Amino acid sequence: MKLGLLLPHFGEHADGAKVIAGSVRAEQLGFDSVWVRDHIVFEPHGEFEKPDPTFFEALTVLTAVGAATRTLTLGTGALIPFRHPVHTALTAATITQMVGDRLILGLGTGNFDSEFAAVGLGGIPRVDLVRANVEIWRGLWSGAPVTRHDGIFDFDEVSVHPRPAAGTIPVWYCGTTPKSVRLAAEFCDGWMPGRISLPTMQKRVAALEEAAAAGGRPRPAVGVVPTTSIAATREAALSRVNVPGLLQWANNARFWVKPPAGSFSSVADLEGVLVYGTPDDVVEQVKRLAAAGVDHLVFDFRLTFDRWEEQMELLGAEVLPRL
């Protein structure tokens, strides 16, 4: 399993120097990757995030981090298709030429209609946007001119140079629904659901394997981004987390496997959604996610970004060596 970190590039603790220095330190500690979210009109999750709308642009952040590091994989979880795909294809290829073949483009449908309306894409089915982006990217990265007239994008004989350093860039589908699994199995290199309960993850991975086999493709890689809090004691770790907010968010999630009681009502019900506790606790919880089929776990400290460096050091010293 690969282990990564969500960068503090959004919310009240977003800070450029913190992002760069923290990424350099993450590489020194042995983390495999760093990841960013993506918004242009940021509306924090009201259930559990603080309402600060600060948001550093995703691909700009990864470019800066890539220039300051040498080995870290640079991931988007998830890039939202409100950019023109020709521009994104060129930007992503340029990043790989500048910092090496280290980029993973996780792509999702997004949450907020306002973002798509702001750039003139309101009302277009988002899955259609995702599929169109991926098809256009891959066509452009092949080096051949691309023509597209699909009711969304309209252009003839467009090509972009440079191509990606490795010829192409891995694309992952980000989402938690059964449909996201089917789409990942159909045309993506990975599937990353973000926060998801462990029983739901187990069910989705089984469906992913079945769908990929039915399509004659290898099973895509599986990523996950659990909310994380680590401390010397379980109580201290849990005190830093908005558990009621996470429970509310989980109960609003569609198509999830429900706990035996019928709703998410306790910390135990949040297994997979939340990784928390002492280093021993975190190791055991990560191992259970690995056993469920997770290939790449990204620790999400958004609720404890005020202690980001402290959390990262504790993970690096006492968790990574055991995993």
CATH of the domain at 158: 3.20.20.30
Residues near 110 by beta carbon (within 8 Å), at least 6 away in sequence: 78, 80, 81, 82, 116, 126
In a domain, 23, yes or no: yes
Q: Sign of torsion, CA 178 284 320 195?
A: positive
In a domain, 190, yes or no: yes
Q: What is the pLDDT of residue 49?
A: 80
Distances in Å between the Cα of 291 and the Cα atoms of 200, 210, 285, 298 are 13, 17, 10, 16
Q: What is the pLDDT of residue 51?
A: 86
Q: Which residues span the domain enclosing 171?
A: 2-243+272-322
Count of structural domains within the chain: 1
Q: 161 exposed, middle or buried (CB, 10 Å; 0-12, 13-18, 19+)?
A: exposed
Q: What is the pLDDT of residue 20?
A: 98
Per DSSP, the three-state class of 75 is: strand
User: Which of the residues in the chain have pLDDT under 70?
Assistant: none
Residues near 312 by beta carbon (within 8 Å), at least 6 away in sequence: 5, 22, 25, 26, 29, 31, 301
Token digits for 38? Answer: 């993506």
Token digits for 95? Answer: 């990043």
In a domain, 238, yes or no: yes
Give the whole-angstrom CA distance, residue 19 versus residue 102.
18
In a domain, 181, yes or no: yes
Token digits for 138? Answer: 């891959």
Give the whole-angstrom CA distance, residue 42 versus residue 55.
7
In a domain, 264, yes or no: no
Q: What is the pLDDT of residue 72?
A: 98
Q: What is the pLDDT of residue 128?
A: 97
In a domain, 9, yes or no: yes
Look up tokens 């928390």; give the residue.
276
The C-alpha R_g of the chain, in whole angstroms, comes to 19
In a domain, 214, yes or no: yes
Token digits for 65? Answer: 């981090």
Q: What is the pLDDT of residue 295?
A: 98
Q: 137 exposed, middle or buried (CB, 10 Å; 0-12, 13-18, 19+)?
A: buried
Please state the φ and ψ torsions of residue 208, each to the nearest 5 degrees: -65, -45
Give the whole-angstrom CA distance, residue 100 versus residue 85.
21
In a domain, 109, yes or no: yes
